[in-house]
Chains A and B, each alone.
Chain A
Amino acid sequence: MVKRIAWRAATVVEVRAETPSARTLVLDVPEWGGHLPGQHVDIRLTAEDGYQAQRSYSIASAWSAESGRVEVSVQRLADGEVSPYLTDVVETGDQIEVRGPIGGWFVWRQTSTAPVVLVAGGSGVVPLMAMIRARGLAGGRQPFRLIYSVRTPEDALYADELRRRAREDAGLDVHFVYTRKAPDDWPVPPRRLDVAVINSHGWPADFEPDCYVCGPNTFVETVADILVALGHDPKRIRTERFGGA
């Protein structure tokens, strides 16, 4: 029997600033049965007069039955309708409506042994972080490489956690690409993510890695095209487009 994915009233149990313009909401969702890394939820807001707005947000956390929590990380778009509400207005104790988990394609499964290339642009790191966390939680040995493109060092979500995980886990590489402003001690000037970066910091196509690309539409288009040009099988390239230009 098909079960309806119902809207549930989730309680915000913790709020964490990730960057000056992005925030993580830790949600307690009643009867949440777990999720796979890469899946998303839909969030629905309702105004006093009944007007509603819905948007999708990737799940940032790995599922664990003990915590039972669901985390989302939201990047503020200054002229946006929903994201500024989630980054600036919502407080601990508030309730928001959530449905999910949604999506069965842009997911990483622990049973897969293939090496993995993750390429993130901006807040596109969120579902990829869930994959890294899920692998960490399960003690997975699959070789993971993350290439993470951000405008400036201040824009990187989860930067400390990523560096710590990469340090402590020989199976995880993390490479940052800065497109506007690099840290002072960074070896190269700011630049766009290009073929050379993906070639040197991803896995060769011969290794047949599973590739996950997530971020704004144009970013995803560009990276997916580069991966195809580098010989990766299009069927192994999974994309999630967050919108925007």
Chain B
Amino acid sequence: MSIISRGFGGRRREPSPDLPPGQYLAHDFPVLSAGPTPRIPLDRWHFSIVTETGEKHTWNWAEFTALPAEEFTVDIHCVTKWSKLGTSWKGVSLDTLFEDVETAGDYAMAHSYGGYTTNVPLEDLLDGKAWIAYEYDGEPLHPEHGGPARLLIPHLYFWKSAKWVDGLRMMHEDEPGFWEDAGYHMYGDPWREQRYHGD
């Protein structure tokens, strides 16, 4: 049972059925990062998928942006409580990137420039559920928001959408990434409020 906060009415500016529990609507685009923003020149950028057997698939910027891209509009939910509804992005579906990848691993560790990692089950990356996004609102993705390219898994809390992503490493077992090691949830479903370990 929650205790009533005497004299608290709440402002509840925009009640919305699209908001997961504990979230509020943000109109700006807040930033959550553990350190400084890396700046990655496009001629040095690459993205790779490494399977559990060590097989490596790599794309440079030209190859990556030549892949069929999708434009999509999704809601995003940050563990620090803000949500943003109807954000528009352009990126490459992970279904496209995994087309020629053979893996028996059920989990992926996303790696980023700057050394951050986050873990995701493979099934949450496939079937139109995730992208490597490189445009936001019709503009190249700003470095603060993860540019040149970030993972985007809108159905999980936003820290799973690794900024500055440079690869996925397939794993047989689930392992904690950077934020998960620091106490955040291994899976991170906003609708079940899986913010922290044990939620």
Point out residues on A near B: beta carbons under 8 Å.
2-5, 7, 9, 44-48, 50-56, 81, 85, 89, 94-97, 102-106, 217, 221, 224-225, 227-228, 234-235, 237-239, 241, 243, 245
B181 at the interface (CB under 8 A from A): yes
Contact for B32 among A2, A85, A241, CB less than 8 A? A241
Chain B window 1-26, contacts with chain A (Cβ cutoff 8 Å), 1 for yes, 0 for no: 01111111111110000000010100
Contact for B3 among A46, A56, A217, A227, CB less than 8 A? A46
A81 touching B36 by the CB < 8 A rule? no
CA distance A170 to B12 in the complex (A): 49
A81 touching B11 by the CB < 8 A rule? yes
Known A-B contacts A105-B182, A221-B144; A4 and B198 likewise in contact (beta carbons under 8 Å): yes
Q: What secondary structure prevails in chain A residues at the interface with B?
A: mixed
B65 at the interface (CB under 8 A from A): no
Closest-CB distance, A99 to chain B (whole angstroms): 8
Contact for B8 among A9, A45, A102, A221, CB less than 8 A? A45
Q: Can you offer 10 A-B residue contacts whose CB atoms are under 8 A?
A: A3-B197, A46-B2, A51-B12, A56-B80, A81-B10, A96-B3, A97-B3, A106-B34, A235-B35, A237-B35
B115 touching A217 by the CB < 8 A rule? no
Known A-B contacts A81-B24, A237-B35; A9 and B3 likewise in contact (beta carbons under 8 Å): yes
Provide the residues of chain A in CB contact with B36, threshold 8 Å: 224-225, 227-228, 234, 237, 239
Contact for A241 among B7, B30, B81, B115, CB less than 8 A? B30
Provide the residues of chain B in CB contact with A239, threshold 8 Å: 33-36
B37 touching A224 by the CB < 8 A rule? yes
CA distance A102 to B179 in the complex (A): 11
